[in-house]
Structure 1
Amino acid sequence: MPSALHELYATAIPRLRASRELDSPERERARLERWQAGLDRTLPTRATPRLARHFEVHQRHGGFPVWELTPHTPTDRTVLYLHGGGYVAPIDAMHVRYAARLARHLGARVLMPDYPLTPTHSWRASHEALVDLAAEASSLGPTVLAGDSAGGGMALAVALSQLGRGGARPERLVLLSPWVDLTTSTPATAWFARRDPWLFPGKLEAYARWWAGSDDDLARPEVSPALADLDALADLPPTLMFCGTRDLLLPGARLLARRMHEAKAPLSYVEEPDLIHVYPLLPGLPEARRAWRTTVDFLDS
């Protein structure tokens, strides 16, 4: 049974973020473009006051900004964290806190790309540069590739492209409620849409089309990595994935789990009854603490 704090989050987060279904794709596009034009794209470090004790924060550029959190003790390990937000929202404090926590546990640096957002940009504006970044990190030392929601799908897509190139590969993948099937063709999607208090199918369909750039690209592995060839999935490193059953993205996560099982890929999948989207990120949540213990065991194994 979900905790009382989880139920509070399930009610409060959609209200605080004014979550609702879109009026029309055209109005939603105009709204997002106005909102993104006024965004402050600096890293939200003030919401993570202990960050300076552990890291120096720098910004580097490779076609778009990449935030680098370097620990005071030199290391060759890296956490490459790709943030969620439906491909329309920037990095927020929850992403920074979680990525820094992973890095502190591993004694690693953090790379957080501030990748170009849709609807102005599609996956083509960032994918190859992200694969280059992952390959660079993996060539320097052990690398954990992680992400939540849209960023979880991106992390998987980047890993698949990186493996396709050959050479250095990530050591581990950590995927939190990942968006891995942008075709939303899974039959159960409509049923889970009625249970999810936060995500809405009309928005997901619009954001997916904008991110893909065209309907022809929706099923590409760079966009919908759950639909990649089984041979490609079989080559993935050990992967840990979390998802709750009050999450519109659950059918895609189940599809990925099923296909990775068919491919005999090394996947640990944790599905929590009645929990909402990206619950492992939510501060103070007992269920998030449980997910963290599972993550630590996975990374240390």
Structure 2
Amino acid sequence: MDPSRRHQLLAWAVPRLRGSSELESVEVERGRLLAGQERATGGLPVRMVPRFGKRFSVVTEVLKGAAGEFPSYVVTPRGTDPRRTVVYLHGGGYVAGIDPFHVRYLARLATALGARVVLPDYPLAPAHTWRDSHDQLADLTERWAADSEELVLAGDSAGGGYALALALTLRDRGGPQPGRLLLHSPWVDLTTSTPETAAFSASDPWLFLGKLEAYAAWWAGSAADLGRPEVSPALADLTGLPPALMFCGTRDTLVPGCRLLARRAAEAGWDLTYVERPGLLHVYPLLPLIPEARDAWRRTLTFLS
């Protein structure tokens, strides 16, 4: 099935609105990102959710690590006492913070599931690496898994990779586990070991391989850490993980990594359902007003019901 006209319009518009472009230089990109992060005001960007304050309560928890403090937001539909929790790791290449599209999607998910959503605002590269938040987020997720009737661990793009990395850590700890994993176009192999990646990147108007390689190096902190399970979870032992649902389109630089994860999941006997749609953009289930996202939404609610 060909992509819808609405999808094609977004595939043209979104990269332009986001100012997507290939890497100019590592030094220029580092300076641009640090300046943008310095200007960021923090907090939840709720402008895409009508009447957010009347519909949801927000409690901010401060997480403490060796690199300092960072917030985690607990969003709960008002008038509810949820028994289910969704811990969601936001995307953004490990260099960008929470986006209004994330909040819009999670508000819908919280309402549909009658669940609270926990959204950590973890420290970003290039100033920070995975070591500055991984243990704290594993502790946070483990605590919510213990306190909830069921916990869903989810994320998109870099956040999808982070969610899978946390699931591996919790499995290895042997304590409370998430009941299900939900992954939207996850970035699961930061080594870019899949040889098809460059070819797929050539048709991706949003993600550029030069930038992804720089972001991966910053997030890993060293070349030796790029292949670690906490950084590239697709390369890890995948046995013993909870059931998972993963979406990706083929107009996406990350689709070879998703295919690698699906192959390795099958080899490990991990119950992973992979939905791949031809010609669709990165994290298409989060994009507004397209029929492909509505189909992904129905599949997601069926999976989580």
State the TM-score, normalizing by the size of structure 2. 0.96
Preserved CA contact (<8 Å) 2:90 2:155: yes
Residue deviations 1:45-101, cap 9 Å, x none?
132124334320121101210011123211221010110000011101110111222
Preserved CA contact (<8 Å) 2:73 2:119: yes
Q: What is the aligned partner in structure 1 of residue 37 from structure 2? A: 36
The Cα shift of 1:250 comes to 0.3
Q: Distance in 1 between matches of 2:126 and 2:214?
A: 9
CA RMSD after TM alignment:
0.9
Alignment partner of 1:68 is 2:66:
no
1:276 pairs with one of 257, 281, 292: 281
Alignment partner of 1:256 is 2:264:
no
Preserved CA contact (<8 Å) 2:23 2:210: yes
Alignment partner of 1:224 is 2:265:
no
Q: Distance in 2 between matches of 1:54 and 1:170?
A: 26
Q: What is the aligned partner in structure 2 of residue 46 from structure 1? A: 47
1:245 pairs with one of 243, 250, 256: 250
Q: Which amino acid aligns with 1:100?
A: A
Alignment partner of 1:298 is 2:299:
no
Matches for 1:1-301 after TM superposition, within 5 Å: 1-63=2-64, 64-71=70-77, 72-141=79-148, 142-229=150-237, 233-300=238-305
Partner of 1:47, secondary structure, is coil
Q: Which amino acid aligns with 2:7?
A: H
Q: Distance in 2 between matches of 1:52 and 1:29?
A: 35
Q: Distance in 1 between matches of 2:250 and 2:110?
A: 28
The Cα shift of 1:2 comes to 0.4
Q: Distance in 2 between matches of 1:194 and 1:244?
A: 14
Q: Which amino acid aligns with 1:119?
A: P
What fraction of aligned residue pairs are identical, expressed as a percent? 62
Preserved CA contact (<8 Å) 1:77 1:140: no
The Cα shift of 1:167 comes to 1.4
Preserved CA contact (<8 Å) 1:177 1:241: yes
Residue deviations 1:252-290, cap 9 Å, x none?
000000000000101110000000100000011100000
Q: Distance in 2 between matches of 1:167 and 1:53?
A: 36
The Cα shift of 1:106 comes to 1.7
Q: Distance in 2 between matches of 1:297 and 1:70?
A: 21
Preserved CA contact (<8 Å) 2:84 2:115: yes
Preserved CA contact (<8 Å) 2:76 2:110: no
Q: What is the aligned partner in structure 1 of residue 67 from structure 2? A: none
Query: Mean alpha-carbon deviation: is it higher for 53-62 or for 142-151?
Result: 53-62
Name structure 1 gaps, 5 residues minimum: none
Q: Distance in 2 between matches of 1:291 and 1:53?
A: 28
Preserved CA contact (<8 Å) 2:181 2:243: yes
State the TM-score, normalizing by the size of structure 1. 0.97
Q: Distance in 2 between matches of 1:278 and 1:51?
A: 23
Name structure 2 gaps, 5 residues minimum: 65-69
